[in-house]
Structure 1
């Protein structure tokens, strides 16, 4: 794996965020080669990942280990958001959790809908604006049935707002390594395909809902071309808990 780091690309007004430190580089130099030796991942199109500048790696999501696989095989350093509780534990278990997620380039953030979702997008934007390679799952959460779900337009907003190119990523077989409900991963060969970078700027400004939707749909189509998954044609989300939640979803057709 290349050790090339991205340009800092900091603007004077950009908030400086924590960057991966020693633990990350230990994971990259020791853990990643070990995992590559065990799982022998088939990596396709790594040259499609620009070695410098702002990029977003947009991937399908089949398993918990996806967040290991992408940093393990990406030719440059990757950061992404993870649930804040992974960083907030106490005692030995909390320390191990923090070290592990730091090692794979995660940044803690509170998850949720509405304001929480928008704050997560803003945190993502700040990371991308440092010149980092930022990874995310446009589906929002992992697919439990193996189908590819409709992309949430946060990816379109991020790409249009930051001007970052989007590299579609197709993960194949990670659900066989750690199926839903499995406590421990199994040894199975996986495939990681990096597609050609996509520039969505021609769709218009980030303020346009139509531009966000069109940009997102192009990105999801590129992911589908890499994976060949069956298309679900809907968003991946749990059923509404009550009538109020059903009404909120009906009034908020665009998913962040």
Structure 2
């Protein structure tokens, strides 16, 4: 589906720049070649579009295999779309989702590609930054790839969850920060305390870029409460 990604870039890029005039910065921090782990806040579905927009390289994201298993024309269009925005399917039926995501992420990075991760694990219910899951730290330490913090700006206001299309009059953007150095923790990816330290440092770097208020709770729990549901226990390593 590489052709579909190219088609999206060619068609959507000029439209997005003309209609929304995104403010982007720090692109020089993203390596021009070789693997890198891009860690980002997750405010909106629009993040998949405006995050990769200013980069010449493609960013790959990990997503549910169900996005790619639909039947008929609708299923084909869904598969083409998610492939076009860089989503790589993960089969969550054979064991823990975190392990499947880790294997897939390591494979993508071993191929010298850019991998995008949302440590919060889901789109947030408001404009705040929530506690990160430690799966991102395991991936960073196991892969030893450069870790680039990435902050989405104004995309929640642009297209909050449930809104079918983005608003006009909102200027979104993305900010890339300097690479984070976790070499002092290499070989310690099975230490839970180390994983939490690394994850918290990643979230702090995102907060500094985005200027968001930080909430020391998982976004999935808060979303469940807002929906009137009993929050399920959150697996700290699942992304």
TM-score (norm 1): 0.83
Distance in structure 1 (CA, Å) of the matches to 2:35 and 2:120: 21
Q: CA deviation at 1:34?
A: 2.4
2:109 pairs with one of 128, 131, 147 = 128
Aligned match of 2:99: 118
Secondary structure of the equivalent of 1:214? helix
Aligned match of 1:8: none
Contact 1:80/1:134, CA 8 A, preserved across alignment: yes
Aligned match of 1:6: none
Aligned match of 2:185: 203
Contact 1:45/1:195, CA 8 A, preserved across alignment: yes
1:217 aligns with 2:194: no
Distance in structure 2 (CA, Å) of the matches to 1:234 and 1:114: 25
- Structure 1: 4+ residue segments shifted above 4 A: 111-114, 239-243
Distance in structure 1 (CA, Å) of the matches to 2:94 and 2:17: 36
2:19 pairs with one of 31, 38, 44 = 38
Distance in structure 2 (CA, Å) of the matches to 1:198 and 1:111: 30
Matches within 5 A, 1:1-256: 21-111=2-92, 115-187=96-168, 188-205=170-187, 206-238=189-221, 239=224, 254-256=236-238
Gaps of 5+ in 1: 1-19
Secondary structure of the equivalent of 1:43? strand
Distance in structure 2 (CA, Å) of the matches to 1:114 and 1:177: 36
Gaps of 5+ in 2: none
Structure 1 stretch displaced more, 77-86 or 202-211 = 202-211
Distance in structure 2 (CA, Å) of the matches to 1:85 and 1:227: 31
* Residue correspondences, number: 231
Distance in structure 2 (CA, Å) of the matches to 1:114 and 1:58: 24
Contact 1:203/1:214, CA 8 A, preserved across alignment: no
Q: CA deviation at 1:105?
A: 1.4
Q: CA deviation at 1:96?
A: 1.6
CA distances 1:158-196 after superposition (whole Å, capped 9, x unpaired): 110001111101111101111222122212211210001
